[in-house]
Amino acid sequence: MNTIGKRLTLTTAGESHGPALVGILDGFPSQVRIDMEAVQHELDRRHPVAPGTTARREPDRVQVLSGIFEGVTTGAPIALLINNVDAHPGDYDALRDVYRPGHADYTYAAKYGVRDHRGGGRASARETALRVAAGAFALQALEQRGIHISAYTSCIGSINRPVDHPVDMTDIYSRPMRSADADTDAAMAQLVSQIAADGDSIGGIVSGRISGLCAGVGEPVYDKFQAMLASAMMSINAAKGFDYGTGFEGVDRPGSQIAAVTGGICGGITDGGDITFRVAFKPVATMMRPLECRKADGSTVTITPGGRHDACIVPRAVAVVRAMAAITTLDALLLK
């Protein structure tokens, strides 16, 4: 449903064009001093000033309504509120009975018999603002334990990060595409500009790393660390794939070369090494082109999308991937 986690849980509510997003982060450890400016800063990072990203400019101010007393967590659930100040529900009236291909319009109607069609309603990626806010809390708790999580854009379309370049995370949030070096970032930005000019869209890959996590975290059979991580990543909008360690690219390399490469996990349990993983994102389904759609009554209609749409959501997804990795890691650590 709308909760993720076992010992640390995040429950979210709120539609894209409703009055607000509401999240409750429960099971968070007590006595953690929280830097609220850093939480807000993390939330701001979800809005890269990149070519082909959305024109929506919510200030996205997060309010904390509980669980913190005199700057320190109390162990009580942390309630997060983000008001939707830039909601324009009327923009979507033409889509009320329309099922756009590649969107969740039809599937929500099939499941619930009713839907809030405004801007994707509950299916919108706007929900991920709460994930980033909650993840910012988890990041602080982890950093206080010496655990660091990073994520960056490693691929957009056919442009991959050169394997022999070192990853440089220091300036990642100053680079529009959230790539690991300035040259790759520029090439990716150029590609996306062109895609946007064509009214088209493009996908890519976000790569992540968890460092400093001790051995012994994760469950051995069904809640393996990689299974929890995969589930968290595949719950992100537009995610189509997850792998870790040698992943899909290791299938054609013999065991004598890579068997000892664990990706930081063995038998579902961390071994103290860095955990490296990737998440693949599809091109978004809404493009600035006429789109033939089914309607609820079986007829078809051609829609020319208005509203606000990204040509490439991958740079925006970087903060979400990092947040979900943080929530999952802290949850697994608390389960230990």
How far from 27 is each of 4, 11, 73, 74, CA to CA, in Å? 12, 11, 11, 10
Please state, in angstroms and as integers, the Cα–Cα distance from residue 301 to each residue in 99, 123, 147, 199, 281, following that order. Answer: 9, 22, 51, 19, 28
**Residue of 37, 164, 252, 297 that binds its own copies (CB under 8 A):** 252
Select from 90, 221, 297, 302 the one that contacts its own copies (CB under 8 A).
221
Residue 232 contacts its own copies per CB under 8 A: yes
Stretch touching its own copies by CB under 8 A, among 40-48, 68-76, 162-170, 178-186: 68-76
Least CB distance to its own copies at residue 170 (A): 26
CA distance 142 to 213: 9
Size of the site for its own copies (CB under 8 A): 128
Quick check: 18 binds its own copies (CB under 8 A)?
yes
Q: Which C-beta is closer to its own copies: that of 171 or that of 336? A: 336
Output the CA–CA distances (angstroms, integers) from residue 317 to 44, 101, 265, in the order listed: 13, 22, 24
Residues 121-140 that bind its own copies (CB under 8 A): 121-123, 127
Q: Which residues contact 267 (CB under 8 A, 6 or more apart)?
A: 220, 224
Q: For the CB of residue 318, give the shortest distance to its own copies in the complex, in Å.
A: 15
Report 75-94 residues binding its own copies (CB under 8 A): 75-79, 81
253 touching its own copies, by CB under 8 A: yes
HSE-CB of 181 using CA atoms within 13 angstroms: 11
Minimum CB–partner distance for residue 175 and its own copies (Å):
19
Give me the least distance between CB of 146 and its own copies, in Å please: 17
Q: Provide DSSP, 58-113.
A: ----EEE-SSEETTEE-SS-EEEEEE-TT--GGGGGGGTTEE-TTSSHHHHHHHHS
Which CB sits closer to its own copies, 102 or 171?
102
Between the CA atoms of 97, 99, 100 and 104, what dihedral angle is there, to the nearest 10 degrees?
A: 120
For residue 5, the SS3 value is coil
Nearer to its own copies (CB atom), residue 174 or residue 267 = 267
The three-state secondary structure class of 189 is: helix
Backbone angles phi, psi at 120, to 5 degrees: 90, -10
- Closest CB 133 distance from its own copies, rounded Å: 14
Those residues whose C-beta lies under 8 Å from the C-beta of residue 200, and which sit 6 or more positions away, are 283, 287, 289, 311
DSSP-based three-state secondary structure for 292? strand
Does residue 321 bind its own copies (CB under 8 A)? no
Binding residue for its own copies, selected from 59, 146, 162, 272, defined by CB under 8 A: 272
Q: Does position 119 bind its own copies by CB under 8 A?
A: no
Of the candidate residues 111, 146, 295, 306, the single one contacting its own copies (CB under 8 A): 111
Binding to its own copies, residues 186-215 (CB under 8 A): 195, 198, 200-205, 214-215
Find, among 112, 115, 111, 110, the residue nearest to 97 by Cα.
Answer: 115
- Residue selected from 54, 56, 148, 250 as contacting its own copies according to rule CB under 8 A: 250
Q: Contacting its own copies (CB under 8 A), which of 166, 254, 297, 302?
A: 254
Q: Which residues in 145-184 contact its own copies (CB under 8 A)?
A: 155-158
State yes or no: residue 54 binds its own copies (CB under 8 A). Answer: no
